[in-house]
Chain A
Amino acid sequence: MNIDELYQTIILDHYREKHHSGLREPYQAEVHHVNPSCGDELTLRVQIDDGEFTDISYDAEGCSISQASVSIMTDLLIGNSVGHAMELHDQFLEVMHSQGAITPDEDVFEDAIAFAGVSKFPARVKCALLGWSAMKDATMQATADAG
């Protein structure tokens, strides 16, 4: 098993220097998600204005895969629409469950293409999905409250 396939340089770079890390104000919803089996923990806040993420902030502790995934996700989503985020969420989920069969579109996924390799390591898929699941949950809460 080649670990370089799992630990792409992009992932290690984001792990060593996380983007948008730290909890910030203002926020409309905050969620706390954990992977009970491994203990990855993530507190994530979203602020949505006019259908766009003006901020996604977080405090996370966990493995390189879960940390890099949330870091890359914030790069992709902040400044973009909620609708686009939900589409990306679903596509990312599909890639992660494809066991390496789906190659993500680099124009859409940017640094997140690095996770295609993670999908070949079933035990680590949930690490990559932690941030995305938390984002979806927080977004649903924020938009439900607004509605």
Chain B
Amino acid sequence: MLDTFRIRTDFPILQRRVGESPLVYLDSANTSQKPRQVVDAIAEHYLQHNANVARAMHLLGAEATAAFEDAREKVARFIGAARAEEVVFTKNASEALNLAANSLGAGLQPGDEVVISVMEHHSNIVPWQLVCERTGATLRWFDITDDGRLDLEAAERDHLINERTKIVSLTWVSNVLGTHNPVTAIAEQAHAVGARMVVDASQAVPHQATDVATLGADLVAFTAHKMLGPTGIGVLWGSYDLLAELPPFLGGGEMIEVVEMARSTYAPPPHRFEAGTPPIAQAVGLGAAIDYLDGIGMAAIAEHEQELTSHALAKLTAIEGLSILGPTAAVDRGSAISFNLDGVHPHDVMQVLDSRGVAIRGGHHCARPLHKRLGYQSSTRASSYLYTTPAEIDALADALVFTRDYFAPRFKG
């Protein structure tokens, strides 16, 4: 496992206490904590190099522009992009997916089909609903099996991906179930019928090595704040040739070539998709986060989380009255684990855990259709990252037993 003792010294927030308990932060799938190196890089940028990018011609403008574009190159290298111009900065993964839906979906017509899945985050559902409503295209979706995997057999039987399919948009790793989806194989099916493949990698890129060159996707969305970076910046990667074909999404400064009163022409990618002043300091922070992750190594991080997930699943499945949503074995799954305690609502679980310093998330995690499909209204989710220790998982398990007995005394003794 990773040297969490050393890593945790970079995250002052993890030394905090909640009342008399040490903080146990198990909400990293919601947002990760930030190491000092990232916060320092943002502070340094604001205190020494701050200016607007591209349009400011003075020294500071040149420094800010260089810092912003340097961050783009770091992202490109981190995900295996062929060139930095394939990296579009957005404000978050939701905006990246909205960009994908609007620009890729601009040519949809009645009769065309868009395929998503029932396990998507709302931000990979609602943008496609909106574009389908506007264009008359039909929205279809993969169902899941009872153990939380994509139901590939049902999809094949129902010809879910067919000659009418124009776009397939799937999450790589479920934010609720933790399930890893076979996006490369599904991208092959999509491409075989001439459809484009969009991947929501928000829960994947922070936790494992990513290589967009072999992933098979045409567009990939993720966000900085779940990978040690700041809030306010997301990424949409696309192959340059595809991005060059796509119409703009948001209009404004910086995305244009020539503006006339009647019409305008647009800048080439990536700037075509970056209207207005971009998240500059946030890009610098994202670059610092990537440096930090690279320093530890994504393979080592993935291995650490795999061991934590095995440990957590063993501890949680041993608790009477606890049900896991999604795969109960640490195979093809990420480190987010959602569960329910019999007779205790997730918000009450969250509240009692919070009183003992354990920070987790309770609710539908922006995946209401998935919860409905599984017969739950909501759930509780614990999620780990590179700074999480097995002792924190043990604290979670102890707090859950306490919570269960507090609300449902029948389990006691």
Contact = CB atoms under 8 A, between A and B. Distances in A.
A38 B354 CA distance: 16
Contact of B377 (A1, A3, A15, A39): A39
Contact of A38 (B355, B378, B406): B378
A88 interface: no
Contacts of A7: 348, 406
Interface residues of B, number: 19
Interface stretch (B140-148, B273-281, B362-370): B362-370
B19 A63 contact: no
Nearest to B408: A16
A124 B363 CA distance: 13
A3 to B, nearest CB: 4
B135 interface: no
A62 interface: yes
A3 B364 contact: no
A65 B345 CA distance: 10
Given A3-B355, A12-B407, A38-B362, A127 B377 contact: no
A1 B407 CA distance: 18
Contact of A39 (B18, B352, B354, B378): B378
Interface string A19-61: 0000000000000000001111100000000000000000001
B37 interface: no
A15 B346 CA distance: 14
Contact of A63 (B348, B368, B406): B348
A64 interface: yes
A64 B363 contact: no
Interface string A114-125: 000000010010
Contacts of B346: 63
A129 interface: no
Interface residues of A, number: 21
A6 interface: yes
Interface in A111-147: 121, 124, 127
Given A2-B355, A12-B407, A124-B351, A37 B345 contact: no
Given A12-B407, A38-B363, A64-B407, A127 B19 contact: no
B363 A39 contact: yes
Contacts of A2: 355
A63 B377 contact: no
Given A38-B363, A39-B378, A41-B377, A127 B355 contact: no
A67 B343 CA distance: 12
B91 interface: no
Contacts of A64: 345, 348, 407
A34 to B, nearest CB: 10
B347 interface: yes
A145 B19 CA distance: 52
Interface of A: 1-3, 6-7, 12, 15, 37-41, 61-65, 67, 121, 124, 127
5 tightest Cβ-Cβ pairs between the two chains A and B? A63-B347, A63-B345, A3-B355, A39-B378, A39-B364
Given A7-B348, A124-B347, A124-B351, 14 more contacts: A1-B19, A2-B355, A3-B351, A6-B351, A15-B407, A38-B378, A39-B363, A39-B364, A39-B371, A41-B377, A62-B347, A62-B377, A63-B347, A63-B348
